[in-house]
C-alpha cells in the first residue's frame, strides 16, 4: 500500500524547502503549545469549588510544572522549592535502599526463571537459531512469564505452593536455561552489529532512558493505595498465599479473571514468605515489563526503519507518564503494553520469515497472544482475533495450512488452564462473562445485569455513540490525557511520509485505529483500557522521527524531544503520576498507607485479638489488614446478606459463629458511594434499619462509631 497522495505530500514538502518544513514546524508547535497549557483533566476534576472570598489556584498544566521545576524561572523559587529540587529530596534517603534488597533479589530469581523458561520454549519450537540475541531475550521474557503463570496456577491448584517448593522450583527452571545463557554469552560480541541501534543512538537511548527507568524501579517498590490493587490485584494472591492453595474465591469475582500477572505477586510472597513484601516483588516485575516492551518497540522500529527510529521510539515510550504510572501500580495494563509490543514484532517477523519456519513462528505469536488473554479477557479482541486474522492471511499468501492451527495451538497452550479453572469452579470457562451462554454457579441474572450496567459498552447500549464523545476520546488519546505524552501526536503521523516503510506504517496505523475503535465500541471506556495502543504508536513515532534526513529537521527533532522528555520527566517526579517517596522507609510506609486507605478499618485491625475475624461490609480494599477478615466485592454475592436473609436470630448467630466472625464493620460511606447515581450500586438489603433489628434481637451489640460513617458491631 503506497498511495500516491503521500508521495505527493512528501515531494511537496521537499520541493517547497524550507517553507514546507517551517509550516510543519508551526503546526507541531501549535499542537505542543496547546497540550502543554491545557489543564490536566483529572486534576481539574478533583478541584473543589472555592468558597466566597477564596481564589482558585492556578490550573495545573505541563508548562506550569516545567516552569516550576527550574529554580528562579519563577522569581523566588529556590532549587530546594523547585520540583526538581523536591524530587532530589525524595531521593536523598539512600540508607533506606537496603530495605529493597530482598525485593530485588526475589524479583531477579523470578525474572531469570522466566527468561530461562521462555528461551527454552523458543528453542523447543526450533526457532533458537533463527532469532538473534536481541530477539530471543525480549520475546523469551513474554513467553516465559506466560508459562510461569500457567505453572503457578497448576501447582497452586494442587496445593503444592509454599516458600521452599517455589524457591527450589524457580531455581531448577533457571538452571535449565544454562545452555541458553551460554549461547547468549557467546553472541555478546555481535551486540552492536546485530543491534537495531547504531552506537551513538544506543548510547543516547541508554543515557536518556536511565532516569525514567530508575524512577520507575524505585516507584514500583513502594506500596500502593489504589483501590483496585488492594481489592483484588494484590488481595487475591494474598489469600492464595495464606491458604497455601489457589482456589475459587466466591466473595471476590475479580479473582476468577485470568490472573497471569497476579501470579508474580504470589511467587514473590512465597519466595519471601511475606505477603506484604511479596506484593512489592510483583510490582517490580510489572515495571520490568516496561523495559522489555521498550526493547520490542526498538526492535520493530529499527527493523522497519532505521537506528534513529529505534532509539527515538524507545525513549519516547519509556518517557510516557502512562508507562511510569503503570509501572508503579499493580495494574496489568503495563504488561499488556509489553505483550502487544512483542506480538507486533513477532507477527512482523513471522510474516517475513522463511516458509519452513512459518508454522513455528506463528506458534510463538500464538503463545504471546494467549499470554495477553491470560492477563486480561479484552485481549481476545485486541490480540487473539486480529493476529489470528493476520495468521490466516499469511497462510493463504504462503499456501501453508499449518499456520492457523499452530497459532491456535499457541493460544490454547496458555489459555487452556485458565479457562479450565473457571469451568471446574463454576461451569463457565469465561466466568463471570458469557452468563447468558454458559451460565455459572455463584452468579445470577441480577448480578449479571449489575455487571453489564457497570462494564457495558456502546454496542450493548450502555454508552453513547455521540460524535462529541468520540472526538473527546480522540483528543484524550492524542495527548490531553493527564498521563499521555505529546510526542506521539507530533511524530506518529509522519511515519506515513517515510519512504521505504510506508506499508508497515499503514499496517501499524490500522492496528492503532482498530484498538481505539474496539476500546470505544466494546468496553466501558475506562481510560487505561486503551493503553495497549501505545506500543504500535511508539513504533510509528520512531518511524516518523526519521521521515526525512536533513540538518534542519534533525535540529527541530532535537528541540521537540528535549521539550517532551523534560516535561514528561518533571511530571513523573510529582505525586500526580504516582507515589514519589522513592527512598522512604518501607516499614513507615506500611503503617502510613494503611491510614490513607481506610483509617477507621485499619485502626480496628490494630485492636484485633488473635483468632478474631471481622466481617467487613461495604469496603473491599482489605489487602493492608494484618488480621483475618471476611469481605465481598461489590459484584459478588454480599456475605452479610447471605448470612442473615430469611433467618431467625439464633440461625444468624450460628451462621456467624460457624465462620468464627466476632465483629462486623460497616463502611456506610462506601456503600453510599456505590448507591449514588451512575455508580455500581449496592444490595438494597443492607440498611441501617437491618442492623438496628439485629441489635434489638440480641445478635449484635450496639454500634461503636469509628468515623463519621463507619461503625463496628460486636457479635454477642
Segment 156-187, tens digit of pLDDT:
999 999 999 999 999 999 999 988 888 777 77
Quickly list H helices, 476-619.
Answer: 487-491, 502-522, 534-545, 551-572, 586-606
Q: What is the pLDDT of residue 10?
A: 63
Does the pLDDT of residue 584 top 90, yes or no? Answer: yes
Cell 543515557 belongs to 207
Q: What is the pLDDT of residue 55?
A: 46
Query: What values do phi and psi take at 347, rounded to 5?
Result: -70, -40
Candidates 397, 524, 361; CA nearest to 452 is 524
DSSP state for residue 631 in the 8-state scheme = -
The torsion defined by the Cα of 599, 605, 607 and 611, in degrees rounded to 10, comes to 170
Backbone dihedral region for residue 124 (phi beyond 0: left; psi -120 to 50: alpha; all else: beta): alpha
Q: What is the pLDDT of residue 190?
A: 56
CA 62, CA 33: separation in Å to the nearest integer? 10
Reported confidence tier of residue 72, pLDDT bands at 50, 70, 90: confident
Q: What is the pLDDT of residue 82?
A: 86
Q: What is the 3-state secondary structure (H, E, C) of 70-121?
A: CCCCCCCCCCCCCHHHHHHHHCCCHHHHHHHHHHHHHHHHHHHHHHHHHHHH
Does the pLDDT of residue 709 top 60, yes or no? Answer: yes
Q: What is the pLDDT of residue 50?
A: 46
pLDDT digits (tens, 9 = 90+) for 309-361: 999 999 999 999 999 999 999 999 999 999 999 999 999 999 999 999 999 99
pLDDT digits (tens, 9 = 90+) for 210-264: 999 999 999 999 999 899 999 999 999 999 999 999 999 999 999 999 999 999 9
Query: What values do phi and psi take at 80, rounded to 5?
Result: -65, -35
Strand partners, 416: none
List all residues 6 or more positions away from 655 whose beta carbon is below 8 Å from its beta carbon.
Answer: 643, 644, 647
- The whole-number average pLDDT for the span 379-390 is 97
**For residues 82 and 608, which has the higher predicted lDDT (pLDDT)?**
82
Q: What nine digits make up the cell of 164?
A: 521452599
Query: What values do phi and psi take at 715, rounded to 5?
Result: -80, 125
pLDDT digits (tens, 9 = 90+) for 645-696: 999 999 999 999 999 999 999 999 999 999 988 889 898 999 999 999 999 9
Q: What is the pLDDT of residue 49?
A: 46
Pairing of β 661-667 and β 710-714: antiparallel
pLDDT digits (tens, 9 = 90+) for 193-214: 445 556 777 788 888 999 999 9
pLDDT digits (tens, 9 = 90+) for 590-648: 988 877 777 888 888 888 777 789 999 999 999 999 888 999 999 999 999 999 999 99
Whether 157 and 245 have beta carbons less than 8 Å apart is answered as yes
CA 502, CA 508: separation in Å to the nearest integer? 10
Report the interhelical angle of 133-157 vs 101-124 (nearest 10°).
100
Whether 361 and 395 have beta carbons less than 8 Å apart is answered as no
Predicted TM-score of the model (pTM): 0.94
What Å distances lie between residue 216 and 275, 287, 309, 533, CA to CA? 22, 7, 23, 20
Candidates 478, 536, 506, 492; CA nearest to 5 is 506
Highest mean pLDDT among 74-83, 277-286, 641-650: 277-286
Q: What angle do CA 495, 498, 503 make, to 5 degrees?
A: 75
Whether 222 and 581 have beta carbons less than 8 Å apart is answered as yes
Does the pLDDT of residue 51 top 50, yes or no? Answer: no
* Burial class of residue 346 (count of CB atoms within 10 Å of its CB; 0-12, 13-18, 19+): buried
Q: What is the pLDDT of residue 204?
A: 80
Q: What is the pLDDT of residue 521?
A: 94
What Å distances lie between residue 23 and 28, 487, 673, CA to CA? 9, 18, 51
Does the pLDDT of residue 533 top 90, yes or no? Answer: yes
**For residues 6 and 239, which has the higher predicted lDDT (pLDDT)?**
239
- Give the three-state DSSP class for 715: strand
Whether 113 and 605 have beta carbons less than 8 Å apart is answered as no
Strand partners, 705: 711
User: How many C-beta neighbours within 10 Å does residue 415 have?
Assistant: 25
Q: Tell me how many helices (H) and strands (E) the chain has.
A: 34, 5
pLDDT digits (tens, 9 = 90+) for 346-357: 999 999 999 999
CA 187, CA 207: separation in Å to the nearest integer? 24
**For residues 56 and 598, which has the higher predicted lDDT (pLDDT)?**
598
Question: Can you say how many angstroms the Cα of residue 38 is from the centroid of all Cα atoms in its chain?
Answer: 26
CA 463, CA 456: separation in Å to the nearest integer? 7
Write the DSSP string, 383-407. IIHHHHHHHHHHHHHHT-TTHHHHH
Does the pLDDT of residue 48 top 70, yes or no? Answer: no
Q: What is the pLDDT of residue 198?
A: 65
Half-sphere exposure of 593 (CA within 13 A, CB side): 22
Reported confidence tier of residue 561, pLDDT bands at 50, 70, 90: very high
Q: What is the pLDDT of residue 54?
A: 47
What Å distances lie between residue 124 and 93, 175, 363, 698, CA to CA? 47, 16, 11, 66
Does the pLDDT of residue 44 top 70, yes or no? Answer: no
CA 171, CA 7: separation in Å to the nearest integer? 55
CA 246, CA 237: separation in Å to the nearest integer? 8
- Give the three-state DSSP class for 712: strand
Q: What is the pLDDT of residue 46?
A: 61
Which segment of 9-23, 58-72, 525-539 scores lowest on mean pLDDT? 9-23
The rounded percent of the chain whose pLDDT value lies above 90 is: 73
CA 121, CA 364: separation in Å to the nearest integer? 9
- The whole-number average pLDDT for the span 265-278 is 98
What mean pLDDT is reported for the chain? 91
**For residues 684 and 285, which has the higher predicted lDDT (pLDDT)?**
285
Amino acid at each position: 500500500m503506497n498511495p500516491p497522495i503521500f508521495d505527493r505530500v512528501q515531494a511537496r514538502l521537499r520541493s517547497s524547502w524550507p517553507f514546507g518544513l517551517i509550516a510543519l514546524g508551526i503546526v507541531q508547535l501549535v499542537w505542543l503549545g496547546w497540550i502543554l497549557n491545557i489543564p490536566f483533566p483529572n486534576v481539574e476534576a478533583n478541584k473543589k469549588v472555592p468558597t466566597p472570598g477564596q481564589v482558585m489556584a492556578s490550573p495545573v498544566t505541563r508548562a506550569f510544572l516545567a516552569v516550576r521545576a527550574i529554580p528562579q524561572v519563577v522569581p523566588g523559587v529556590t532549587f530546594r522549592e523547585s520540583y526538581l529540587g523536591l524530587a532530589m529530596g525524595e531521593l536523598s534517603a539512600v540508607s533506606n535502599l537496603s530495605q529493597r534488597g530482598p525485593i530485588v533479589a526475589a524479583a531477579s530469581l523470578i525474572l531469570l526463571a522466566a527468561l530461562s523458561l521462555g528461551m527454552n520454549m523458543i528453542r523447543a519450537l526450533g526457532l533458537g537459531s533463527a532469532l538473534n540475541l536481541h530477539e530471543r531475550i525480549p520475546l523469551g521474557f513474554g513467553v516465559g512469564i506466560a508459562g510461569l503463570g500457567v505453572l503457578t496456577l497448576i501447582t497452586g491448584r494442587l496445593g503444592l505452593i509454599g516458600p521452599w517448593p517455589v524457591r527450589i522450583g524457580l531455581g531448577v527452571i533457571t538452571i535449565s536455561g544454562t545452555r541458553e545463557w551460554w549461547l547468549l554469552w557467546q553472541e555478546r560480541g555481535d551486540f552492536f552489529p546485530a543491534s537495531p541501534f547504531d552506537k551513538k543512538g544506543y548510547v543516547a537511548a541508554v543515557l536518556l532512558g536511565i532516569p525514567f527507568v530508575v524512577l520507575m524501579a524505585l516507584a514500583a517498590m513502594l506500596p500502593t493505595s489504589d483501590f483496585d490493587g488492594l481489592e483484588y490485584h494484590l488481595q487475591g494472591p494474598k489469600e492464595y498465599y495464606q491458604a497455601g492453595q489457589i482456589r475459587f474465591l466466591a466473595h471476590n469475582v475479580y479473582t476468577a479473571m485470568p490472573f497471569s500477572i497476579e501470579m508474580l505477586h504470589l511467587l514473590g510472597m512465597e519466595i519471601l514468605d511475606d505477603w506484604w513484601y511479596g506484593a512489592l516483588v510483583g510490582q517490580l516485575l510489572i515495571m520490568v515489563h516496561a523495559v522489555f516492551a521498550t526493547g520490542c518497540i526498538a526492535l520493530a522500529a529499527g527493523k522497519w526503519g532505521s537506528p534513529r527510529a529505534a532509539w527515538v521510539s524507545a525513549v519516547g515510550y519509556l518517557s510516557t507518564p502512562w508507562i511510569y504510572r503503570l509501572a508503579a501500580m499493580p495494574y496489568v495494563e503495563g504488561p499488556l503494553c509489553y505483550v502487544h509490543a512483542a506480538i507486533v514484532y513477532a507477527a512482523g517477523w513471522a510474516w517475513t520469515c522463511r516458509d519452513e519456519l512459518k508454522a513455528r513462528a506463528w506458534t510463538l505469536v500464538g503463545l504471546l497472544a494467549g499470554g495477553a488473554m491470560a492477563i486480561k479477557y479484552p485481549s481476545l479482541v485486541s490480540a487473539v482475533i486480529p493476529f489470528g486474522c493476520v495468521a490466516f492471511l499469511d497462510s493463504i499468501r504462503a499456501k501453508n495450512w499449518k499456520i492457523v492451527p499452530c497459532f491456535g495451538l499457541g493460544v490454547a497452550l496458555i489459555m487452556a488452564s485458565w479457562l479450565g479453572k473457571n469451568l471446574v469452579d463454576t461451569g463457565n470457562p469465561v466466568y463471570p462473562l458469557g452468563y447468558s451462554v454458559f451460565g455459572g454457579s455463584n452468579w445470577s441474572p441480577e448480578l449479571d445485569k449489575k455487571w453489564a450496567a457497570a462494564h457495558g459498552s456502546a454496542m450493548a447500549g450502555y454508552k453513547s455513540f455521540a460524535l462529541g464523545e468520540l472526538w473527546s476520546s480522540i483528543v484524550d488519546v492524542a495527548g490531553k490525557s493527564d498521563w499521555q505524552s505529546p510526542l506521539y501526536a507530533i511524530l506518529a503521523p509522519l511515519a506515513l511520509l517515510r519512504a521505504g516503510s510506508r506499508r508497515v506504517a499503514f499496517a501499524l496505523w490500522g492496528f492503532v485505529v482498530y484498538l481505539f475503535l474496539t476500546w470505544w465500541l466494546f468496553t466501558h471506556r475506562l481510560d487505561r483500557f486503551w493503553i495497549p495502543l501505545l506500543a504500535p504508536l511508539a513504533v510509528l513515532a520512531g518511524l516518523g522521527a526519521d521521515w526525512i534526513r536533513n540538518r534542519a529537521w534533525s535540529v527541530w527533532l532535537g528541540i521537540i524531544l528535549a521539550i517532551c522528555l523534560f516535561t514528561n520527566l518533571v511530571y513523573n517526579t510529582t505525586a500526580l503520576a504516582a507515589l514519589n517517596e522513592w527512598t522512604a522507609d518501607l516499614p513507615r510506609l506500611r503503617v502510613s498507607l494503611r491510614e490513607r486507605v481506610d483509617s477507621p478499618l485499619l485502626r480496628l485491625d490494630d485492636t484485633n485479638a488473635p483468632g478474631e475475624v471481622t466481617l467487613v461490609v461495604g469496603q473491599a480494599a482489605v489487602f493492608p489488614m494484618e488480621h483475618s477478615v471476611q469481605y465481598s466485592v461489590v459484584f459478588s454475592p454480599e456475605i452479610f446478606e447471605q448470612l442473615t436473609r430469611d433467618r431467625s436470630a439464633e440461625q444468624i448467630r450460628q451462621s456467624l459463629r460457624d465462620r468464627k466472625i466476632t465483629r462486623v464493620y460497616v463502611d456506610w460511606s462506601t456503600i453510599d458511594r456505590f448507591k449514588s447515581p451512575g455508580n455500581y450500586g449496592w444490595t438494597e438489603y443492607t440498611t441501617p434499619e437491618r442492623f438496628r433489628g439485629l441489635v434489638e434481637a440480641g445478635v449484635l451489640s450496639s454500634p461503636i462509631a469509628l468515623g463519621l460513617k463507619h461503625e463496628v458491631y460486636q457479635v454477642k
